[in-house]
Structure formats: C-alpha cells, structure tokens
A and B are shown apart, each in its own frame.
Chain A
C-alpha cells in the first residue's frame, strides 16, 4: 500500500535537486568513494567518469522502475545487478570505441561502475518504488551531483598537481607541481578538504535557521 502512495506523489523540483545538492552522493552521502578517489587525478578523467556513471544510473533506474511490479522481492538485487552490469558493459565498449587513451586512463574503474553503491542504492531506494519519469529525473540529479563532486576533486587535484585545468596550462611553464596531489594521498587530502567545506557550510546554514 505504501508503495502505491509514494508513487502517487508528484514530481517536484526537489526530486531533481535532491541528488545535486541536499543528498549529493560525494559530499553528503559519501558514497562511491572508490572511483571518486581513484580517477580524479584530472578534470577530464573526472568528468568522463561522472558522465559514464550518469548514463548507467539513468538507464538502470529507468529499467528498474519499468519492471518494478514484475520482479519478485526475493530476487530483486540480483535483477538490479544484471541490469546495471548490462549498461556498464555498454559504456565500457562505447568509451573504448570513442577514446582509447581515456579508456586506459580510467582502467578497471569503468567496469567497477557495476559495484558503485550510488547506482544500486538509487535502484533499491528510489527507482523500485517510483514511476519511470520520477525515477529518471531523480537519477539524473544524482548523476549530475556525482559528476559535480568528481569535477570538484579532479579540478583541484589537476590545478595543484599539474598546474593545468582540462589540459590548459594555468600558471606558465615554471609552475611547481605538487606531486602529492596526483598520488593517492592527495585524493584523500582534497576529498577531506571538500567535505570539510561542505559540512562547515551545512552547520552554518543550520545555525542560521536556528536563529531565525
């Protein structure tokens, strides 16, 4: 009964913005950290990874939502995984065909989109309980939020680690690269810095709301 009720709720702007801001997968839910830390050494890699995840997320959520009343509860996770894996294989081949160098840079992390908890989480928590349009809009917001998160990390690490942004040199040829930023510890430092900024902003807005 509750499923029916939720499905009847209308699509609001928040359906989309939930993933972009309030429940941002990287900065608020801290999900999908494996690709977040591993592929964000440059802005290009980060955006490619974000878009690939966005595609898989939207397509899987659409399909999951369409068949939500057909799948028995006991086998739903297996079904979701099969659906997600199908789209990941698609993305894998598409990236390989479009740009081999990008494919090599992202490495195993394209295949690992399968186990990205954002996708399974959205399929389970949202798409399986909502009509297709709403599920797609929500998945789109989540995917864009994830891409923004990856871009924030990738841009910071590329600017400090190589003095470039999207491959364009920012500081001239005498720039001293911060080697640590393109190494794994740099990923943790930058992620920690962004998380700090977001939790600081959140606590300030909560304080502001309490004062009013």
Chain B
C-alpha cells in the first residue's frame, strides 16, 4: 500500500515537518556559541546577566500562563537569551529582571502568547529599559579584562532600585589601556573614529554582551538558514539594503560617512538582522513582503544611526518593521490560483 493518502482539510496542505518546539530548540542551540563567546569575552558578569534574564523570562512565562504550560515551546528561552545578548555585559541584575519581565509580560503574554505578539518580545524589553535606565544601558566595560573570571563588575550586583556605582575607578584597576567606554558606533558618531573591520569581525570591541563577533553570529545564522529554520531572505535584505544605503552616503561624502563594511559589522545590526528581524511571529509571510520588510529595517537602521540622537538604530528599526508587518502582508498577498485573470469578462 502506498504511503500517499488523500486528506480532505483546509489549507495549508504541505507541512515542513518541523514543529514550533523543534525550530525554537534549534535557534537556542545556534545561540549557544554566541553566549559562550560572550561569557569568554566578558566573564562572570555576562554569565550572570544571561542566566538572570533567561530565568526571569521563564518564570514570567510560567507565572502568566497558569492554565497551559508553555515553557515547552522554548520561545521564552530564546527571548531571554536574545534580550541578555543585547544588554551591556555589566548591566545591573535587578534592571535585567525588569527587562525580562517586561519582555514576556508586555511584549508577549499581554497579546495572547506566542504567535500573537506584534513586536519582538526581546526588543520590547530592551526598549523599555532603554527608556527607563538610559545611563545604565550605555555603561560599557572593556572586553577581555584580566580578572573577568574571578570577579564581577561592581555594577552587576547593584541593590534593587538603586543607582549602579560608578565603574571608572574599577576599569582603571583592570589595567586596560586606553579604554574609551564607548562603542564603535558612538566613537564614530562623536569622535569620527572608525574601528577596524578585523576588530569588529572578531569582537574585540566594546559593545553589548552578544553583538560583538560579527563572524560568529554570521556562522550561527548560516546554520539556521541551511537547516531552513529561518527565512534567509530577511537577513539578506536587511544587510544588503543597509550596505547599499551606507554606500550611497559614502559616495556623497566619504570624509564623514563610514564604509558599508563598518556599518554592517558594528553595533547590533548583525544579531538584529539574523536573530530578531527573522522572528516568525513578527515578520511578514509573503515572499515579496519579506523583501520589503528587510529593506525597511536596513534603510531605517542606517538613517537612525546617521541622523538620530541615539548611536544605535537597529532596535527601533526592527520594532518599526514589526509594526508595518500586518500592512505589508496585506498588500503583498499573492494571487490566488484561478482568480484575478484579466482575460475573463
């Protein structure tokens, strides 16, 4: 007997064979190398931050879904890890708990759980703490400091609701030469100094916990794309349009605007394009819509970076793209087979 059989039911008829937990679990696996690199680079503080945020996300998910256990779909783990990776490594843990709670509660559970959230939950959490604690979220620490595996950065264990201590003296004790305390993007914006592509690729720059090594993020993203757990067109559209926009600006004024390579490799563009813009619940589903969505994010990122008050624009660009997703989906519906034929009377 043939294994093919006819099933009568509503579309879609073709199933990829992947369930939501499978996809989510693989995304988590692909994030682990990035987490490992982050911990190797920033030490105990980054580890504590990632664990705290993920635990908060899981606890919130459990607390707000008492009737159905939704921990098994792994989505809260992804939100937690991604949120942790976008925060500065020495971010006070109590603020990280606030961020994790907001991400799951306001970013996802409020809208009805996984699949109903209009915005990427991790970015909602980050946007909230960005607005609430603007100083703490722009306090960076040097990478590869000598004592990173034996002591925490003083800000990590700030008492709840209190201002984190000043870490200027602590940074001096670490014996780091010429630490500017600014990300490559901030240095470009305010001092017109661009970091070398080599430093950006290998992650030896000041940044959020997980946006450091562009090369590693690309490799992990490639794994997901090859296993078809991610729509490769979104990162390609985001990165391509960002590079093109940056190239156009550089043609206009090479002395002021940085190279497209710097734009691609600096800040959170890489992790944003690969892991956050591709969130299935918040990105379009139509083939044309996906390209439009990616281009909007890429162009907006460069525009916010160049002309906005903030140094980094990926977060708001993606949130904007998320907001436009229903509209894009609506206007790019493919023609249904057998309808809309012009020849017909």
- A residues neighboring B (CB under 8 Å): 163, 171, 174-176, 178-181, 183, 185, 189
Contacts and interface: CB of A to CB of B under 8 A. Distances in A.
Contact of B162 (A174, A178, A179, A185): A174
A19 B91 CA distance: 45
29 contacts: A163-B161, A171-B161, A171-B162, A174-B159, A174-B162, A174-B163, A175-B161, A175-B162, A175-B163, A176-B95, A176-B133, A176-B136, A176-B158, A176-B161, A176-B162, A176-B163, A176-B164, A178-B132, A178-B133, A179-B131, A179-B132, A179-B133, A179-B134, A180-B131, A180-B132, A181-B132, A183-B131, A185-B131, A189-B106
Given A174-B163, A179-B131, 13 more contacts: A163-B161, A174-B159, A174-B162, A175-B162, A176-B136, A176-B158, A176-B163, A178-B132, A180-B128, A180-B131, A180-B132, A181-B132, A183-B131
A8 B92 CA distance: 64
A180 B131 CA distance: 5
Interface in B153-168: 158-159, 161-164
Mostly helix, strand, loop or mixed at chain B's interface? loop
Contacts of A171: 161-162
Contacts of B136: 176
A43 B95 CA distance: 25
A175 B134 CA distance: 14
Contacts, number: 30
A159 to B, nearest CB: 10
Interface of B: 95, 106, 128, 131-134, 136, 158-159, 161-164
A79 to B, nearest CB: 43
Contacts of A185: 131
Which are the 9 A-B pairs with shortest beta-carbon distances? A180-B131, A180-B132, A178-B132, A176-B163, A174-B162, A174-B163, A179-B132, A176-B162, A171-B161
Contacts of B95: 176
A185 B106 CA distance: 13
Contacts of B161: 163, 171, 175-176
A179 B133 CA distance: 6
A148 B132 CA distance: 26
A58 B179 CA distance: 64
A157 B290 CA distance: 40
A163 B162 CA distance: 10
A158 to B, nearest CB: 14
